[in-house]
A and B are shown apart, each in its own frame.
Chain A
Amino acid sequence: MSSSKSTHLLNSSKTDRIILLVNKVLLGLVVVVVTVPLLYVLLGSFLQPQILATKGLSFNPDHWTVDGYIRIFQDGTIMRGFFNSVLYASGFTFVAISFTVLAGYALSVDDLVGKKFFVIFFLVAMFFNGGMIPTYLVVRSLGLLNTPWAIILPGAVGVWNLILARTYFKAIPIELKEAARIDGASDLMIFWKIVLPLAKPIIFVLALFAFIGQWNAYFQAMIYLDDRSLYPLQLVLREILIQNEVQPGMIADQLARAEMQKIAEMIKYSSIVVASLPLLIMYPFFQKYFEKGVMVGSLK
């Protein structure tokens, strides 16, 4: 990439340079458009509600408050949702990864008897599905409604991920396995001691995507869970942000209706921050893995 740098500079015509400049300006604009709404929410969450309602954003420190956050912590609904989400996302990730990696490895073995059948079995599941209602009925008849399992089990095996894992395992040189076998290692040993350590990158990438996907999901929880104490964070947020139902514990004080309205607005801003910040802070550390994951995916 950088080798062509010098020639680009030498040969670029005037129009080329203008285009490059316009390009930079446009990208700068894109960055602004992406950041402004996020910063607005962040600032809004620290502003006294009456200020935000009347004056909009203010950088005057006298107008700042952490009241929104205090109210969220006092009520506990969001915190419980947070805890449930950690549980569901970790459980889902664990189940999804172990099922996917084990099956992906088995399918990567070249002489596996019945491989064709298994591959077709999974591929069909990728293109056809029963749809929302029949799937709901299955979950219901298994007695999973209102249990964390309804979130953790369905959808744990993504066929696309299975293909990714299989492709990755296929790239591991067969000689490694054969050498180990000659040394007397069993299949299990080979998998555990040789294959798994080599597969760490793909496992990590799949796990990240599974965790983030489940952390941000609300729909399964909405249809499978009635019990409010089981609600994941996103469902709690849905009540606050979309259905305008701020929990009573967040507005305990006796206030005028208009006042309550403003505080409710502030709580919305704070809860957006509480829900989004953990992932937004963590993701830059994982960014290179996402890129790696995409590379693995495009290998095919």
Chain B
Amino acid sequence: MKRNRMAYIKKNWVLYLFLAPALLSVFIFNYIPMYGVLIAFQNFSVTKGIWGSDWVGLAHFTSFLTSPNFLQIFLNTIKLSSYELLIGFPVPVILALMLHQIRRSGIKKNIQLVIYAPYFISTVVIAGMLFLFLSPAGPINGLLGLFMNRPVSFMSEPDYFRTIFITSGIWQGAGFASIVYVAALSNSDPQLHDAATIDGASLLQRIWHIDLQVLKPVMAVLFILAIGGIMGVGFEKAYLLQTDRNLPASEIIDTYVYKRGLLAGDWSFGAAVGLFNTVIGLVLLATANQVVKKLKGETLY
């Protein structure tokens, strides 16, 4: 048996050569950092390395969990991403259902062309546009000026942060996200619609009972993935949209990790907070997978 294996490997060495770069790169950039998570339990010093640094157990976790701003940062993270999920998730589905009703494929293609476009704009540019549009002298305030006499300084009000974040996210991503659902719908069986029509089903009934059923499996998988990503949602944009004054709403765990861990050089503390975040994300992913499995029998793994 072993002989056979060695013979196989010898004969097919090319395949192993093909695997090598990917294995090596995943090992270096994914596995070594997993081992590096150990520094979360240390007072890591770069000069001493992981083996030389002092172990402190859960000290960094306790100091994060008991710090006065923990609750705010934690709730900001949860709120921002769950609102984004609850509001942002259905929009592409609805868009796809709406697009599916457009029978003239030329027009449909053109609409798609337009609504995908913002997806190709970078996060930095989106954030820049938001600062330009929402500044006290910007066009949005110009419009609002017709009704109110004092400009709103949107970017420095914590109250507006989540709305800005989520709305702009939908503006940028919903069109492109609908592509999956449009593709799924195009595979649906037109005969079902014909049969239902003959049975007297109205358009809305057919959308509900036929089109939506076609989308359900895709929605389940994407929903699980979205829940798994809930703790890491939108970090790059949140960081760009942060101003000193909207911090009470915009400081999320990832931006905090970046500031404490990298900018302030508090490696171990940053790693501990990051690990806390990852663990919660994994628990959420597993839970979501279980729940959906129970409900529908669709799972991710």
Contacts and interface: CB of A to CB of B under 8 A. Distances in A.
Interface stretch (A63-71, A72-80, A249-257, A278-286): A278-286
A154 B29 contact: yes
Contact of B39 (A27, A123, A137): A137
B65 interface: no
B120 to A, nearest CB: 4
A171 interface: no
B36 A137 contact: yes
Given A131-B274, A138-B28, A31 B124 contact: no
A298 interface: yes
Contacts of A125: 26, 30-31
Interface string B110-134: 0111111110111111011101110
Contacts of B120: 212, 216, 276, 279-280, 283
B99 interface: yes
A228 interface: no
Nearest to A36: B139
Given A2-B103, A128-B278, A132-B254, A242 B124 contact: yes
Contact of A280 (B121, B236, B301): B121
Contacts of A16: 202-203
| Band of interface residues on B | 35 or more
A60 interface: no
A106 interface: yes
B79 interface: no
A124 B165 CA distance: 31
Contact of B34 (A2, A113, A134, A216): A134
A204 interface: no
Interface stretch (B17-25, B67-75, B156-164): B17-25
B111 A31 contact: yes
B139 A237 contact: no
Given A103-B22, A135-B33, A218-B124, A27 B12 contact: no
Given A234-B122, A237-B128, A241-B128, A131 B275 contact: yes
Contacts of B123: 216, 218, 234
A23 to B, nearest CB: 5
B183 interface: yes
A1 B185 CA distance: 10
**Consensus secondary structure, chain A interface:** helix
B197 interface: yes
Contact of B262 (A13, A40, A223): A223
Interface string A30-61: 11011101101100000000000100100000
A156 B179 contact: no
Contacts of A155: 29
A15 B261 CA distance: 59
A168 to B, nearest CB: 15
A133 interface: yes
B33 A129 contact: yes
Given A134-B37, A242-B124, A280-B121, A56 B202 contact: no
Contacts of B236: 218-219
B166 interface: no
A139 B236 CA distance: 19
B51 to A, nearest CB: 13
Contact of B18 (A106, A138, A139, A291): A106
A223 B262 CA distance: 8
Interface string A197-219: 00000000000000010011111
Contacts of A275: 122, 124-125
Interface string B252-286: 00100110011000010011001101100010010
Contacts of B254: 132
Given A35-B114, A106-B19, A242-B127, A276 B261 contact: no
A5 B103 contact: yes
Contacts of B113: 284, 287
A121 B98 CA distance: 41
A127 B32 CA distance: 15
Given A128-B278, A134-B271, A157 B25 contact: yes
A192 B282 CA distance: 40
B101 interface: yes
B25 A131 contact: no
B8 to A, nearest CB: 5
B15 A121 contact: no
A215 B121 CA distance: 10
Contacts of B25: 99, 153, 156-157
B58 interface: no
Interface in B25-83: 25-26, 28-37, 39, 46
B267 A133 contact: yes
A34 B262 CA distance: 36
A40 B142 CA distance: 13
Interchain residue pairs A-B with the least CB separation, the first 9: A130-B33, A241-B128, A134-B36, A131-B274, A103-B22, A216-B122, A134-B33, A4-B190, A102-B18
